[in-house]
């Protein structure tokens, strides 16, 4: 079995990602077929398609863009003592607040001061 061009919802049963759902894109660039999982680096299908077939369970082919419900972004980091912190944002307002209150996070994330809305 080979993947047709398009978008898919897939699930990995084991491995690095654990048991979770992922977004898979199969596309052509010129005459070369690529497979991309989530926002990862596209890989040539000829190099990875067989592995993808065995690693991922196809949930469904998507005929339209995915609908996003209950978005949550986590910002995780370790400080100079090695202690781990985790902040969660459910909208752009809260994400902007994280960047305001923790300017070093904004800088590490590549967000310039001019892109952060001040209070």
Does residue 24 sit within a domain?
yes
As a whole number of angstroms, the distance between CA 119 and CA 58 comes to 46
Quick one: pLDDT at residue 40?
A: 92
Residues 54 and 19 in one domain: yes
Shared domain for 109 and 79, answered yes or no, is yes
On whether both 53 and 84 belong to a single domain, the answer is no
CA atoms within 13 A on the CB side of 4: 5
Q: How many helices (H) and strands (E) would you count in the chain?
A: 3, 7
Structural domain for 31, as ranges: 6-62
| Residue at 38 is within a domain | yes
67 is a domain residue: no
C-alpha of 80 from chain center? 27
pLDDT at residue number 27 = 94
Predicted confidence at residue 70, as pLDDT, reads 87
Give the residue ranges of the chain where pLDDT is below 70: 1, 13-19, 113-119
pLDDT digits over 43-65, tens only? 999 888 888 888 888 899 998 87
Segment 99-105 long-range contacts (CB within 8 Å, at least 24 positions apart): 105/75, 105/77
Residue 68 lies in a domain: no
């Amino acid at each position: 079995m080979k993947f047709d061009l398009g978008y898919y919802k897939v699930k990995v049963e084991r491995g690095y990602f654990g048991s979770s759902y992922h977004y898979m894109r199969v596309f052509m660039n010129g005459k070369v077929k690529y497979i991309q999982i989530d926002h990862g680096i596209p890989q040539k299908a000829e190099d990875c398609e067989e592995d993808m077939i065995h690693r991922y369970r196809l949930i469904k082919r998507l005929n339209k863009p995915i609908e996003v419900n209950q978005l949550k972004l986590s910002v995780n980091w370790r400080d100079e003592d090695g202690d781990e912190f985790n902040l969660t944002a459910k909208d752009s307002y809260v994400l902007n607040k994280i960047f305001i209150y923790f300017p070093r996070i904004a800088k590490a994330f590549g967000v310039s001061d001019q892109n952060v809305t001040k209070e």
